[in-house]
Every structure is written in C-alpha cells, then in structure tokens.
Amino acid sequence: MPIVHEGLKKELEYVTRPGERKHIEEIFERADPFLHDISHNLIMGKQHEVDRLTKEALDKGFAANTVLDDGLIAGMAVVGVKFRDNIIFVPEVLVAARAMKAGMKHLDPILSASGIEPLGTVIMGTVKGDLHDIGKNLCIMMLRGSGFIVYDLGVDTKPEEFIEAVIEHDAHLVGMSALLTTTMPNMGRTIKAFEDAGLRDQVKIMVGGAPVTQEFAEDMGADGYGKDAMACVEKAKELLGIGAVAFPAPAAR
C-alpha cells in the first residue's frame, strides 16, 4: 500500500540511491501505517513518542518481530542513510539511537522470552574530570546493537560509581573513556579502586579515547583497548570469551 505518512514521505526524499530507495520504500509499503509513525518518530529522534508508540503497537497485537523490523529498524535505516550522506551528523544519530533504545525497552522482555540471552552486561562511563562523551556514546550504541546490556554512567564518573554499578548490575565488563591527557590517569586510578575493593578479578576492564593507546592501556593494567566503536565491540566479545555468535536479543537498556 502507498505511504501516506507525509513526514515519512519527506524523509524518504533523502534516500536518493535508486536501489536503496526501492528497498526502503518496499519495507514501508508493506508495513502497517501505524508502524510508519514509529519509524518517523525514530528518525526525528523523539524518544518519548517512540516509547509510547512501541508500547501501543504491542498492545494492539503487532508481533514483536514486525515492530522491530518495520518500525524501529526501518527508521534507523533511514537515519544511517542520512548520516552517510551528511544530511545529519553524530548528535542526530545518537538522539535516534536513544529513541531506538526507548522502543527496545518494550521489546526486550518479549525477545528474551524467546530464549536467547544477552551477550553480557557492560558498565560504561567517561572517567572523572572528563566531560567528553561522543566516542563513548557511539560505543554504547554499537554494544547495544550487538546484543549487550549497557548501563551508561555518563561523564565525570568517579571510581566508586563504576564499582557500585558493577555490583548493582552484576556486570563482568567495564568500559572507560577519556579524551584528555589530563584525565587519562583517572583510568588507572579507577582500576586501582577495583583492586582495592577486591573486585578486580571479577571484571574485565577495557579503555578507549583519542589519546589512549594500547601501550598506555597495558601500562595502567587494563585488560583491553579499543581504538573505535567497532573495536570496542570486538574487544568486549573477546574479553567475555564470546566468539562469532549469532545475534541475540538486544536487551537495550
């Protein structure tokens, strides 16, 4: 059926590569118009609307798979195209990813009930004294997309906050980010805090950020270093002993 959602039709104008346009249009054309609203709100980064509409779709009886494919992922596909073609930039992508997370919140319990468990639980934060978060946020988006549960502690995270989060969420992996040479030592201090708390053997710690190197990571006693968001996911899987697995339920939090 033709797409009648005016906002979505406008967004599709940004998809200019013919094959890509055809593919995305086909997804929207076969989808129920109610799901168009979810896609459009996700593209616009309206997390509260995506939250509400996803719940409503499930309440109406739409299958979880359908809501995921034809609502959330279809919207994110348009976001990816707009980003690739420099129509939007990282802040808009991250807002859309936040909306995706808001929708996934309602799908997670249903998807988990299918018997597939998340890959693991990760605590992520930018270290104390550092307010730079965009690299960390990209890593979180990727980790969630890979099937990890991620708890984001935000920026300026004290060592004790990392420790409390690990205990509270029974996490086995911590990811720390720093962008300043002046705050990099706080990664080492956080690792030391885990040692002092007697928890160092229970968690793997990975680090990243523009000034961080493999050598620095090793010197401060981290278990792994990821130079970018993709490497972060690979390192997380490696540290938790996860091989090339099929994708599980996303369990985005």
Partner 1 sequence: MTNSNVDKERLQASMARLFDIYKEIAVVADQVSTWRCLYKDQHDRCTAKFGCRNQLHSRVPGELPVCTGDDRLDYRSAWEI
Q: Round to whole Å and give the CA distance between 168 and 100.
A: 25
Q: Which stretch binds partner 1 (CB under 8 A): 3-11, 139-147, 169-177, 191-199?
A: 139-147
Report if residue 130 touches partner 1, rule: CB under 8 A: yes
Nearest C-alpha neighbor of 204 from the set 173, 229, 250: 173
Q: Given its phi and psi angles, is residue 174 left (phi above 0), alpha (psi -120 to 50 degrees) or beta?
A: beta
Provide the minimum distance between the beta carbon of 40 and partner 1 in the complex, in angstroms, as a whole number: 17
- Candidates 2-10, 67-75, 157-165, 199-207; binding stretch for partner 1 (CB under 8 A): 67-75
182 binds partner 1 (CB under 8 A): yes
Of positions 179, 203, 212, 239, contacts partner 1 by CB under 8 A: 179
Three-state SS at 48: helix
14 lies in the binding site for partner 1 (CB under 8 A): no
What's the CA gap between 95 and 135, in Å, rounded? Answer: 14
Contact window for partner 1 (CB under 8 A) among 12-20, 34-42, 70-78, 162-170: 70-78
DSSP code of residue 129: T
Q: Does 63 bind partner 1 (CB under 8 A)?
A: yes
Please choose, from the candidates 174, 187, 160, the residue with its C-alpha nearest in 3D space to the C-alpha of residue 122: 174
Query: Does 174 help bind partner 1 (rule: CB under 8 A)?
Result: no
Of the pair 33, 91, the CB lying nearest partner 1 is at 91
Q: Residue 225: which residues within 8 A CB-CB, separation 6 or more? A: 206, 207, 208, 212, 213, 214, 216, 217, 218, 235
- Answer for which of 52, 55, 87, 161 binds partner 1 (CB under 8 A) is 87
Number of helices (H), then strands (E), in the chain? 12, 5
Identify whether the C-beta of residue 81 lies closer than 8 Å to the C-beta of residue 15.
Answer: yes
Residue 141 in the binding site for partner 1 (CB under 8 A): yes
Would you count residue 115 as binding partner 1 (CB under 8 A)?
yes
Question: Which parts of this chain interact with partner 1 (CB under 8 A)?
Answer: 58, 61-65, 68-69, 73, 76-77, 79-80, 83-84, 86-93, 110-111, 113-116, 129-134, 138, 141-142, 145-147, 155, 179-180, 182-183, 210, 228-230, 246-250
